[in-house]
Structure 1
Amino acid sequence: MERSESTSLPTPAWRKQRKSTGARQQLSQDLIVDTAIRVLDAEGLDAVSMRRVAQELDTGPASLYAHVSNKEELLDLMLDRVCEEMRIPAEPDPARWREQVKEIAYEIHRVLSEHADIARVPLGSIPTGASSLRMNEMMLSVMLAGGVPPRAAAWGAERIYLYVNADAYDGSIHLAKQRASGMERDEYMARFLGQVRDFFANLPADRFPATVRNVGDLMSGDGEDRFEFGLEMLVRGIASYVPANDQANDQASD
């Protein structure tokens, strides 16, 4: 997909127009976004600012505004660049729509998790870049091909995105804490989960009987197990909106 595709999309009403100032010739939107992602991957989203990116490019913040209107647009562009890495199905397969929905969700989670806490960007925002829209178009197309009613597909997709983004962001928080601790990932997680287990196990049993009795289940599985459980729960819920005759056909094809 050509990145120039994004220039043909309408500008969201809530975004300021870029200033048409004369910027240095060597600057470009691609270079600015590449630099911002490099800062993100190395130090996290909080380190990304127009000033910091300008410093990395050995220029002043004002020169960036000819290519990026403000930090909000920069974050949107960064997210869309990251979304280019997502591998999505070439076309919907009605017989495998549930599997395809999960494949797309796993791919979103994989890519977001590889870029520090970029998963924070779509929370409380509406991604409008070409790559984000391409991914959303396929998610909706897959559900609709599987017989999911349009409203259930639209709302179901939005709930899946929220779940995936939140889970990836939660993982990025632990990654940041692990790096700050100086521990390896397995050592950090073992200590953290051990502390949580001890806390639950030592709660007053008369006040928290269900928690104390079920510490084993509360602490069972790893992040991948729990992500799969939550995703399957969502997909089954969306599938429940498929008309009964379509569900019968879907089950017959499995």
Structure 2
Amino acid sequence: MPTNEQPIPSVWARPRRGREQPALSREQIVAEAVRLLDEEGIDALSMRRLGSRLNAGATSLYRHVANKDELFELAVDEVYGELPLPEQTDAAGWRAGIEQTARSLRATILRHPWIAAKLGEVGLAYLGPNMLRQTEHMLGVFEAAGFSLDEADQAMNTLVAYVLGVSTGEAAMLSMIARSGQTQQEWVERLWPAAERAVQDYPRLRARYAAQRGQDLPESDQDNFEYGLQRVLDGLQTRLG
């Protein structure tokens, strides 16, 4: 009987084609796609451009990847493969492992700023093997801490939402500064006089801007991230208490 069901548009929802072109593998394609995205950004990625870098025609790429959306799914999962798995310890040591994961996720997003813009729109990326492995392991750490599986899932989602929220803003700023051709410090120094004029009528903001003038920006961003991370973990610790 005919059916109107359409296949789910995701690389993880269809079988991998058995016959691959010997001279070019999916792994090579994905690795080069990540390099292209790191070097030139999202707008530069096309099957034609990627094929040129691989000395292959776009048709050769389509034998392994159905479209650009699938390519992004694969690239996101490839990047998640860089994340170390937190050490699974007893209930007393869960926090250190989760801190390591949160810091690693932020650092990975800042190394690959393009990923921040794609995480929410890459279909079934969460079914990629690297993301599944990371998710399963984090759930295990939270369970070992004493959370039920349901609450371990909620705790993990809360933590990841915090890290992504902060890191996405940082990544967007870094991408914008990179397009300007300036260093982060140069960009801020050029902006600062206009920012100081804008906050003249706002005493609290004026005081904050004055206190921040001349600070090391990456270090300041790290401090702000750590403050929020510790408050999230304090809340989860209270739940266990």
1:230 to 2:228 alignment: yes
Is 1:212 matched with 2:207? no
Q: Quote the residue 2:4 is aligned against.
A: none
Deviation string for 1:162-181 (max 9, x for gaps)? Answer: 22223222222222222232
Q: Select which of 3, 10, 25 maps to 1:15.
A: 10
Equivalent residue letter for 1:226: N
Q: Taking structure 2 as the reference length, what is the TM-score of the superposition?
A: 0.80
SS in 2 for 1:127: helix
Partner of 2:3: none
The answer on 1:28 being equivalent to 2:28 is: no
The Cα shift of 1:41 comes to: 1.1
Asked whether the equivalents of residues 122 and 165 of structure 1 are also in contact (C-alpha less than 8 Å), the reply is no
Structure 2, gaps ≥5 residues long: 1-6
Deviations 1:193-231 (A, max 9, x none): 5644442x224xxxxxxx533543477582111111121
TM-superposed CA distance for 1:32, in Å, is 0.5
Matched residue type, 1:143 = F
Give the superposition deviation at 1:105.
0.6
Give the Cα separation in 1 of the matches to 2:142 and 2:16. 41
Question: What is the TM-score of this pair, normalised by structure 1?
Answer: 0.76
**Unmatched tracts of structure 1, length 5 or more:** 1-11, 204-210, 248-254
Contact 1:97–1:146 (CA under 8 A) maintained in structure 2:
yes
Read off the aligned partner of 2:181 and give its amino acid letter: G
Which one-letter code corresponds to 2:204 in the other structure?
Answer: R
For 2:80, the equivalent position in structure 1 comes to 83
Structure 2 partner of 1:186: 185
Q: CA RMSD in A?
A: 2.7
Q: % of aligned pairs identical? A: 29
1:26 is paired with a residue of what secondary structure? coil
Q: CA separation in 2, counterparts of 1:119 and 1:128?
A: 18
Deviates more, 1:108-117 or 1:148-157: 148-157
Call closer, same or farther: CA 1:202–1:34 in 2, change over 3 Å. same
Cα gap change, 1:198 to 1:143, in 2 (>3 Å): farther
Q: 1:71 aligns with which of 57, 68, 73?
A: 68
The count of corresponding residues between Structure 1 and Structure 2 is: 224
Distance 1:75 1:156 in 2: 27
Q: Is the 8 A contact 1:35 1:53 kept in 2?
A: yes
CA distance in 1, matches of 2:146, 2:196: 43
- Residue in 2 aligned with 1:8? none
* One-letter code aligned to 1:227: F
Q: Which amino acid aligns with 2:147?
A: V
